[in-house]
Amino acid sequence: MVKILGDLSPVYVVGIGFHPYQHASDTPYVALGLQAIREALTDAAIAWEDVQSSYVATALLGMAAGRPMLRHLGAHGQPLVHIENASASGSTAFRHACLEVGAGISDVALVVGVDKRTSPVFRAPTGVPSLADDAIVPATHFALLADEYCSRHNVAPEDVALVAVKNHANGALNPNAQRRKVRTLEEVMTRPIAGTLTALQCTPIGEGAAAVIVASEEGIRRLGIDAGRAVRVVSSAAGSEKAGNQTNPDTALSAEIMAQAIREAQIGPRDLDVIEVHDAFAIEELLYAEATGICEQGEFIPLLKEGAFDIGGRCAISASGGLIAMGHPIGPTGVGQVGEIVRQLRGEATGRQQPGARTGLAHMVGIGAVCYVHVLQK
Amino acid sequence: MRDTAKMMQTGLGDELFQPTGASGDSAPPALYGGRCNSCGYVFFPPQSYGCERCGSTKIDRTELDGRGTLIASAVVHRHLDPARPAPFIVGSMELERRVVVRGLIEAGQDALAPGCPMETMIVAETRPDRGSTDIRFRPAV
């Protein structure tokens, strides 16, 4: 009989840390990563020697970037693995650290995501010819999905842009966000990129780092970690795209994996207080939010306009600012989502706290496509 | 794109469309897709590595009628690749047997609405090392 995370020993996030996401700079990735890791160790009040296993999520740094970073914490010889899974690299690393700790292989594990922007991203050719892949980049793909959604649900482009207005406002409250400026709808609607998507509705790929420490009950007890600030990881679900000529495989896949994560957490979608999704483009937040089941298809925009998804609304979506405002440095992003949810569930998200937040969901897709969803609960 | 090594590698070759236009009557140029002999899955672009649905390697080339329906379109205002200078229009089209393709559209944006009948047309290729012709979609007359 196969097992799910909930069948294993309970796993908790006990420490979170960041290097703020930012535009490309001369700061070496080693400095970015070390800042996030040290902050997470301090937050958990444990020493580097207490970490028994490390997962390094990075998509853009090249081969084996982790060891030249971790060595500066004091080399203690514990296992280390690198995980690359496109935008979902950090979420994937988090899942596997949780599985290792839940299985009892380790009591305490580090997950760190770190990246610096490189352009263009190298991918070896597949040998399969394409008609217009050079014309259809991610922004174009999501512009087509926005056009499809707007015609189906009779929604104006300005309505979709309201997602970005909300997320920029949230990002302005987050010291770790790359974009920290409140934007009006008029500002968001300037600088078109593809279709109705504008620059401020697209993620600004940058750089940064995020780290979390996961621990078992045994690890918490042994190291004297404050169990009152520990946040349990109640479910972890993952999947990859199936064959089909659908125009929107990311959403179909997300709906399936979110449903699995919510079911395994033994909750309903309307129990979610905070959600972080892969909102690299404004239309994505809308599609994935509907895919969680927190509202019906076509209901997102009216509810957004009522403030249902604001901080203080019925479910805060992208309270961190999301990929649109907090940023999307690739490797760190999924780890940073978990960090944000932990902060919210601890009640420590000063200035952007969702009142009474108890349950949160983190969702990432990675090009290809893969999908990773985690539910956390306090 | 059209070197022999790649054609041998994918088996079905890398021809994606009829390069010279109509076959027989006034039909628009067909696209070349693949059809799985085991499960019947029809797809585009063609490849013979294995069926994405069932894994079978028994795959044949199949012609897809160059007429379809527009699902969505978008004007690309900014594009980094200098070989594709913006602005241009891209679209998702549903062809026969539920195959969805994405490609460039030759039309004014005003002429495009979801559900609009579309057809293929041949244009001169402007990118280097891609042969002499390329294919576009346009609203069917």
Q: Which residues share a beta bridge with B105?
A: B89, B137
**What are the DSSP calls for A205-228, one per residue?**
--EEEEEEEEEEHHHHHHHT--GG
pLDDT computed for residue B52 by the predictor: 94
Same domain, A110 and A164: no
Buried b (16+ CB within 10 A) or exposed e, B38-57: eeebbbbbbbbbebebeeee
How close, in Å, is residue B28 to chain A by CA atoms? 17
Residue B126: pLDDT band (50, 70, 90) is confident
A interface with B, Cβ–Cβ < 8 A, is: 127-132, 134-137, 140, 143-148, 151-152, 192-196, 243-247
Find, in chain A, the residue whose alpha carbon is nearest to that of B81.
A134
Residue A345 located in a structural domain: yes
**How far is the C-alpha of A274 from the C-alpha of A347, rounded, in Å?**
12
**How far is the C-alpha of A220 from the C-alpha of A226, rounded, in Å?**
7
How close, in Å, is residue B121 to chain A by CA atoms? 13
Same domain, A284 and A358: yes
pLDDT computed for residue B1 by the predictor: 37
**Residues in chain B closer than 8 A to A152 (CB atoms):** 114
Residue A168 located in a structural domain: yes
Residues listed for chain B = 141
In the predicted model, is pLDDT for residue B22 greater than 60? no
pLDDT computed for residue B23 by the predictor: 52
**Residues in chain A closer than 8 A to B101 (CB atoms):** 131
H runs (alpha helix) in A103-195: 138-153, 157-171, 185-188
**Total domain count for chain B?**
1
In the predicted model, is pLDDT for residue B4 greater than 70? no
Q: Which residues share a beta bridge with A285?
A: none
**How far is the C-alpha of B121 from the C-alpha of B141, rounded, in Å?**
12
Residues A49-81 have pLDDT tens digits of 999 999 999 999 999 999 999 999 998 899 999
Residues A125-151 have pLDDT tens digits of 999 988 888 899 999 999 999 999 999
By percentage, how much of chain A surpasses pLDDT 90? 92
**What are the DSSP calls for A26-69, one per residue?**
S--HHHHHHHHHHHHHHHHT--GGG--EEEEE-SSS-TT-SHHH
Average pLDDT, rounded, for chain B: 87
pLDDT computed for residue A245 by the predictor: 66
Same domain, A165 and A296: yes
**How far is the C-alpha of A318 from the C-alpha of A201, rounded, in Å?**
13
Q: Which residue in A128, A144, A145 is closest to B90 by CB distance? A: A144
Q: Which residue in A132, A148, A192 is closest to B90 by CB distance? A: A132
In which domain, by residue range, is B94 found?
4-139
H runs (alpha helix) in A327-373: 333-346
In the predicted model, is pLDDT for residue A174 greater than 50? yes
Residue A132 located in a structural domain: no
Residue A357 located in a structural domain: yes
Find, in chain A, the residue whose alpha carbon is nearest to that of B73.
A144
Closest CA to A20 of A320, A337, A326, A352: A326
In the predicted model, is pLDDT for residue B6 greater than 70? no
In the predicted model, is pLDDT for residue A300 greater than 60? yes
Find, in chain B, the residue whose alpha carbon is nearest to that of A244.
B53
Q: Which residue in A135, A144, A244 is closest to B104 by CB distance? A: A135
Provide the CATH number for the domain around residue A12.
Answer: 3.40.47.10
Same domain, A176 and A290: yes
Same domain, A93 and A149: no
* Residue B37 token pair: 């002999």
By percentage, how much of chain A surpasses pLDDT 70? 100
Residue A33 located in a structural domain: yes
Of the three residues A197, A231, A265, the one that is the final residue of a domain is A231
How close, in Å, is residue B139 to chain A by CA atoms? 17
Cα angle A271, A276, A277 (rounded to 5 degrees) comes to 110
**Total domain count for chain A?**
2
Average pLDDT, rounded, for chain A: 96
Residue B12: pLDDT band (50, 70, 90) is low
How crowded is the C-beta side of A187, counted as CA atoms within 13 Å? 10
**What are the DSSP calls for B73-107, one per residue?**
EEEE---S-TTSPSPEEEEEEE-GGG-EEEEEE-S
Q: What ipTM was reported for this prediction?
A: 0.90
Element of type H or E holding A100: helix A89-102
Least confident range from A86-100, A274-288, B96-110: namely B96-110
Residue A92 located in a structural domain: yes
In the predicted model, is pLDDT for residue B20 greater than 80? no
Residue B25: pLDDT band (50, 70, 90) is low
pLDDT computed for residue A10 by the predictor: 98
How close, in Å, is residue A147 to chain B by CA atoms? 6
Q: Could you give the C-alpha distances from B31 to A84, A183, B19, B135, in angstroms and in order?
A: 35, 45, 10, 9
Same domain, A92 and A220: yes
Q: Answer yes or no: are the C-beta atoms of A225 and A347 closer than 8 Å.
A: no
Buried b (16+ CB within 10 A) or exposed e, A295-325: beeeebbebbeeebbbbebbbbbbbbbbbbb
Same domain, A317 and A333: yes
**What are the DSSP calls for B38-81, one per residue?**
TT--EESS---S--TTT----EEEEEE-SEEEEEEEEEE---S-
Q: Give the residue-averaged pLDDT of B1-23.
A: 57
Least confident range from A114-123, A189-198, A223-232, B124-133: namely B124-133
Same domain, A254 and A340: yes
pLDDT computed for residue B9 by the predictor: 47
Tracing tokens 């594990």 back to the chain, one arrives at A109
Residue A125 located in a structural domain: no
pLDDT computed for residue B7 by the predictor: 41
Say if strands A359-366 and A274-276 run parallel, antiparallel, or are unpaired: parallel
CB contact under 8 Å between A195 and B9, yes or no, is no
Report the C-alpha dihedral over residues B1, B4, B6, B12, rounded to 10 degrees.
100
Residue B13: pLDDT band (50, 70, 90) is low
Same domain, A288 and A351: yes
In which domain, by residue range, is A238 found?
138-187+233-377
**Residues in chain A closer than 8 A to B127 (CB atoms):** 134
Residues B55-111 have pLDDT tens digits of 999 999 999 999 999 999 999 999 988 889 999 999 999 999 999 999 999 998 888
CB contact under 8 Å between B9 and A140, yes or no, is no
Same domain, A211 and A305: no
Residue A121: pLDDT band (50, 70, 90) is confident
Same domain, A41 and A182: no
Find, in chain A, the residue whose alpha carbon is nearest to that of B6.
A127
Same domain, A94 and A144: no
Residue A177 located in a structural domain: yes
Q: Answer yes or no: are the C-beta atoms of B97 and B42 closer than 8 Å.
A: yes
In the predicted model, is pLDDT for residue B10 greater than 70? no
In the predicted model, is pLDDT for residue A368 greater than 90? no
Q: Answer yes or no: are the C-beta atoms of A240 and A124 closer than 8 Å.
A: no
In the predicted model, is pLDDT for residue A226 greater than 60? yes
